[in-house]
Structure 1
Amino acid sequence: MRRLARFIKEWQTVFIGLVAGVTLIATFASMPGRVSTLEAKDIEQDKADTELEKAQATLSTTLTSALELHKEQKKQNAIDHRRYEEVQKQLTELHLQRVVNGSSR
């Protein structure tokens, strides 16, 4: 009898947990509408997650394209700036030649 009492005392928490678990399962089993509501919410969440993933992929692609375009524009701007400096140098040289030629007349 003492052994049984000690065994019950030691395993009391486990027994209580089992009873609570069975009660919880029985409660949800008797509420099919509640379970289907949870399933519907899970389905909605999955759809929302899928849409979010699609939007993130689109955004990532757009940002990558924009970055590439920015790099190309930066290269083109550098080329244009070098051309501008060359033209300015040529204009300055032409102006100096006109000044020199005009003063020698």
Structure 2
Amino acid sequence: MKNFMLLLREEIEETQKLPPQEFQELVAAHMNWVQELTEKGIFKGGEGLEYEGKTIKNATRVVSDGPFIETKECVGGYYIIQAADIDAAVEIAKNCPCIKYPGSIEVRAVSVY
């Protein structure tokens, strides 16, 4: 089994427009999904991320604010799961509540050096 990171990308404006009840339902759906993965022994960790952050660009090491609220999409959180291969990880990710709302999930294998 390998570890995979699921990067949850949200469309910020759409997420912020959710009525409070619907937002709470989304949070509960994430918690339930994590519980299911935990019971299966494949959930390894994860966290939500704040929308604001800083970006350090290439060799200049210039630090700028970002992601900017004007951007449509930002990484809103991540999960670490275990799966046999990337195809199995994608199948698991297809059930993440994140994709029921505008957004996407990037699935990446965690590299071990």
Q: TM-score, normalised by structure 1?
A: 0.22
Q: Which has the higher strand share?
A: 2
Q: Which has the higher helix share?
A: 1
- Specify which structure has the bigger relative contact order, considering alpha-carbon pairs within 8 angstroms and separated by 6 or more residues: 2
Q: Rg: which structure is higher?
A: 1
